[in-house]
Amino acid sequence: MSSHHDLFEKETESWLAGRARTGQAPACARALDAAYLRGPDESSWAKASRRLRDQLMIRSPRVYYDRVESALVGRLWVAVTDHGLAAVTYGGRESEFAGWIGRRLRSTAVRSPERTAAARRELDEYLRGRRTDFSLPVDLRHVTPFQRRVLEAARTVPRGTVATYRDIGRSIGKPGAARAVGQALGSNPVPIVVPCHRVLASDGSLGGYSGRGGLRTKRRLLALEGALLV
């Protein structure tokens, strides 16, 4: 064994035992300190970041989205999860919708024509008058228990007919909650499929509609379904 190697071992042993003179760390320790201070190069950082992002994407819940173009109501954005249709939104930019649905569902939003194909097809057929109801499962896990009861009650209103906020309140055992029913319907995450447009104000007037076009869109949907307008 060389004398240089013996000296290196002695320096290292003294340093590990705390006997080295101040500022006299062995060469290997000085080399490690220098490497730590430099840090990884840019390509290594980029590669590590990509691997981390890919792993997070794999582990994160997914929500899939795409758009539907309709002559009747304009552009719609739709989103689905493994549990069903989670959102239908009128218009807006793709980035806004993807950001909103990702935050709302705490998921990674991925545009996917394949995963949204059934939802887009049924909506397109419905808005063209070629379909009278939906077979889509609806994912209402992210609404409050009260809103879920209101939305489920709205789904029972038959096509071609209307109900009022008070009617929906009575059906869920809350006859005095017409205003709260209206608010719950106003934030319906899946309009058209959950037909909040079939629910009118308690005085029988059209009430409101939060979708793009407001009451004009509500009238068009009711007319499509053959409902008697007030």
Residues 6+ apart with CB under 8 A from 73: 90, 127, 192, 211, 212, 213, 217, 220, 221
| Candidates 87, 98, 196, 227; catalytic one | 196
List Cα–Cα distances, 112 to 52, 55, 78, 210, in angstroms: 22, 19, 10, 26
Helices (H), 60-144: 94-105, 117-127
Helix 3-16 × helix 27-38 angle, to 10°: 70
Helix, strand or coil for residue 101? helix
Q: Is 28 a catalytic residue?
A: no
Q: Among all residues, which ones are annotated catalytic?
A: 196
